[in-house]
A and B are shown apart, each in its own frame.
Chain A
Amino acid sequence: MSCHFSDPLNMNTTGSRTYLFTKGIDSFLKGVTDASTFTVRFFKESFLPPFHFHEVINQSFEIGLKSLSLITVTGFIIGIVFTKQSRPSLEDFGATSWLPSLMGIAIIRALGPLVTALICAGKVGSSIGAEIGSMKVTEQIEAMEVSAINPFKYLIVTRVFATTLTIPVLSLYCICVGLFGSYINVHAQEATGFVTFYHNAFSSVSFLDINTSVIKSIVYGLTIGLVGCYKGYNARKGTRGVGRAANQAVIVSMFLIFLEEIVIVQITNWIRYY
């Protein structure tokens, strides 16, 4: 295999394409480069006028309303199930009174933001990927461009801002609902009062935990918005491409969310112990 370094990723020398590594690796590298360029463009365009605040608010409402019912049900069930699952282990040590603290730590530090992000990756990410993808393949994005409207600012920047702003709010809501589910279970077993439960649950978490939880949600929101928009904006090949964009928006967002979770937890632990 010959190697050319002047234009390694898209080369046409004697009518046949040659690759720097293999076709798969080259296409992966090209994908990473394109995604990085897309992200840089997002940050660049975010600070340039015109600003479509009204569209950001519209999109935020859309995202919030779309996910609210699912987050309510999931958060509540997770609160109940985790409390039920944790109880036997704590009972072995006679430490059931620690349940509110345990659930506070688990839900605020990890479960609330993570569950919200995963639900939104599935529901909002796929919807953004499909919507932008369908606009792309039906030439609606080009129609905006020829009308002197910047589609990147109007469609992409507004949606990414909307996910970045809305997902932290949904995440805090999920934490409240999850803790309420947990309270219902604890109250049914030990007749613990509402105030006592919440006091115990929050006394075990620090300001750092709540801050980290919010920051995590902002990062997840940014990821879901960027990935959904990137996949949709680069959709090709008709309706099949739209389906593919929606599907990949979910898979890639979820993968990145888990990666980010590991990194943020690691950083938080460093901050906590040093």
Chain B
Amino acid sequence: MKEQAKHQINLEESVIAITGLEKSFDELDVLKGVDFTLYRGENVAVLGKSGSGKSVLIKIMVGLLRPDAGQVWVLSKEVNELKRKELDALRLRVGFLFQSSALYDSMDVYQNLSFPLVMTKKQLTKKEVDQEVYEALDAVGLTEKVNEMPADLSGGQRKRIGIARTLILKPEIILYDEPTSGLDPITSGEINNLIREVQERYNTSSVIITHDLTCSKHTGDRIAMLLDGKFIKIGSFENVFASKDEAIKSFYNYNFIQESHARIS
């Protein structure tokens, strides 16, 4: 693939390593022994049905949720062993794009982007902050929206601003939670391209949580199929969907039909 040739994956350096991860909520076992590795410079798309624990997985990676068992190493730090300050230092190196974009609705676009910078890098001057904000907006192609409120933006624009806010802290890893959910196929395609552009321009490693086959194929160097709380197959898109596993086949067929419908309509 042309895009894949532009970035380098270092298979000797893992940025995220997870072993035996388990998580349950009340009576519901969501993750049942997940093992996973993300290498530097790599994008992995995690595919799975809604409610299969994909979002829980990435929330555990940034310490928003605590696992019941297992170990999560991010940039050589055991996330669950970190104190507040250490966790904050790690979070500055890991970006997170929420499914809903989670823009601060009482702030305009400029404030949304400058807020994390001003709060975490207090030594920056106003000029430097401005420069960083415009650079991040330029990366997502929305410099003209700098004074708009989030409520005035379209779904795709909100996602782009969300990505810009993630980029502003210059993370080494980006975790995308359903980046194309709720978007039309054209806007989804733009977001997919943007995810690839970010990977190439900033040399980031990413985990992309999705149930969208096109998104996973376009953005992921590898695909990890999460079913019944475990990864049942990890590999290239072709490799995963060439599997004879009934669950994978039915997921592929169902999504293929859904996406065909979306394209036709």
Contacts and interface: CB of A to CB of B under 8 A. Distances in A.
Given A12-B26, A154-B119, A148 B98 contact: no
Given A139-B100, A140-B105, A154-B119, A146 B27 contact: no
B102 A145 contact: no
Interface string B161-179: 0000100010000000000
B218 interface: no
Contacts of A150: 84, 88
Interface string B20-63: 00000011000000000000000000000000000000010010
B102 A147 contact: no
A138 B226 CA distance: 25
Contacts of B92: 147-148
Interface string A38-73: 000000000000000000000000000000000000
A145 B87 CA distance: 10
A149 B119 contact: yes
A140 B104 contact: yes
A24 interface: no
Given A15-B27, A154-B119, A138 B102 contact: yes
A138 B162 CA distance: 13
Given A15-B27, A154-B119, A148 B88 contact: yes
A251 B80 CA distance: 38
Contacts of B116: 147-149
B120 A145 contact: no
B105 A146 contact: no
Contacts of B27: 12, 15
A146 B119 contact: no
Nearest to B120: A148
Interface string B114-146: 011001100000000000000000000000000
A143 interface: yes
A15 B29 CA distance: 12
A154 B118 CA distance: 13
A142 B98 contact: yes
Contacts of B169: 147-148
Contact of A140 (B59, B84, B95, B102): B102
B110 interface: no
29 contacts: A17-B26, A131-B106, A134-B105, A138-B102, A138-B105, A139-B98, A139-B99, A139-B100, A140-B104, A142-B59, A142-B64, A142-B102, A143-B102, A145-B64, A145-B91, A146-B62, A146-B91, A146-B95, A147-B92, A147-B115, A147-B119, A147-B120, A148-B88, A148-B116, A148-B120, A149-B115, A149-B116, A149-B119, A150-B88
Interface of A: 12, 15, 17, 131, 134-135, 138-140, 142-143, 145-150, 154
Nearest 10 A/B pairs, CB to CB: A143-B102, A148-B88, A147-B116, A139-B102, A146-B96, A148-B91, A139-B98, A149-B119, A148-B92, A140-B102
